[in-house]
């Protein structure tokens, strides 16, 4: 079953594919283990199935499940809500706030913020700052307009396209690949 290659075009399609938490766990096991359970404590150890998606490493005698070593480890939020949150974050073009996410998946704002931080850590660039092939570069200045600031926070002599009070950011995009952003 090559379910892990499927792309979900709508939230309804995602909800139909994952009607329960167990279906989410089976999906995660498929992606991480490819039908061969591997112990996170000892990769070469034999693994015993204890039932209810719990396993035991023979060499270390430790009990584990598929969430160990992932962003889902140690959380009480149902897997279905995690999957919905990941889909919402990826599908919103300009991002999503923790308040909006908390309303959408019916959790507290603090929980939504925690989930957002965990999910965003998965999006960190893992290519060690190296890009190959055709690369596009662009820069921008991040910071609000001086005229919109409170009177005691305005920067003097900052009119028009002045960037005295702004932070320069450089972005590099590998065609059909990774993105690197750096504050200059």
Total residues found in the chain within this entry: 184
CA quadruple 39, 45, 46, 51: dihedral, nearest 10: -20
Q: Tens digits of per-residue pLDDT, 13-44? A: 999 999 999 999 988 888 888 878 888 888 88
Q: Tens digits of per-residue pLDDT, 123-138? A: 776 666 678 888 899 9
The alpha carbon dihedral of 16, 20, 21, 25 has a sign of negative
Model pTM greater than 0.75?
Answer: no
């Amino acid at each position: 079953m090559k379910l892990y290659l499927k792309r979900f075009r709508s939230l309804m399609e995602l909800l139909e594919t994952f009607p329960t938490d167990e279906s989410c766990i089976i999906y995660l096991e498929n992606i991480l283990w490819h039908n061969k359970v591997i112990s996170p404590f000892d990769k070469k150890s034999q693994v015993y199935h204890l039932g209810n998606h719990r396993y035991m490493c023979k060499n270390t005698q430790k009990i584990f499940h598929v969430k160990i070593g992932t962003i889902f480890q140690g959380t009480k939020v149902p897997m279905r809500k995690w999957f919905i949150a990941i889909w919402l974050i990826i599908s919103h073009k300009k991002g999503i706030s923790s308040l909006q996410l908390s309303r959408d998946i019916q959790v507290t704002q603090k929980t939504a913020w925690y989930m957002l931080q965990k999910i965003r850590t998965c999006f960190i660039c893992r290519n060690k700052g190296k890009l190959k092939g055709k690369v596009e570069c662009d820069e921008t200045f991040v910071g609000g307009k001086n005229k919109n600031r409170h009177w005691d926070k305005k920067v003097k002599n900052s009119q028009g396209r002045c960037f005295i009070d702004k932070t320069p950011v450089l972005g590099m995009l590998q065609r059909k690949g990774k993105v690197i952003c750096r504050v200059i």
